[in-house]
Amino acid sequence: MLTKLLITVIVILLSLFVLKQRKPVEVVDKTADVTALSRKALLKFYATLCLGALIIGSLVFVGWHWYDNQQIMQVTISNPNTGDAQVFLARKGEIGASSMVTIQGQQIRISPLESVRIELAQANDESAN
């Protein structure tokens, strides 16, 4: 904890030192300098472009995550005592570590002793259990 505090103080002191060492920037008349206006417009364009790319990337990621969670999986739960196996269909997003919800809305709790096998369901299996 003390080292984190010391590192923070050192970073603050170094940043203050660097800011004091900076040379003052000359004030230029912006109306006379056309490149200053074009730089500002170019910076605004790049900022808008980056923001647009960020929004589109976020939407693609959220859409892919939703699509991936909608995949129908075939879940086989085997009882170790009886050797009995039951097969269920569930969406990928509805399968948890200790429970799942089937396509029909039935909630299944999975015992730590039971073995679970999850695989992608075949197209003709959707009418099953």
| Structural domain that includes position 92 | 64-97+112-121
Residue 88 lies in a domain: yes
Intervals of the chain under pLDDT 50: 127
Residue 84 lies in a domain: yes
Residue 53 lies in a domain: no
pTM: 0.56
> What is the Cα–Cα distance from 112 to 98, expressed in whole angstroms?
7
Q: What percent of the chain has pLDDT above 90? A: 51
pLDDT, residue 88, reads 95
> What is the Cα–Cα distance from 116 to 88, expressed in whole angstroms?
11
pLDDT, residue 6, reads 77
- Mention every residue, 6+ apart, whose C-beta is less than 8 A from residue 58: none
Burial degree of 22 (CB within 10 A; 0-12, 13-18, 19+): exposed
Residue 19 lies in a domain: no
Number of independent structural domains in the chain = 1
Residue 117 lies in a domain: yes
Residue 116 lies in a domain: yes
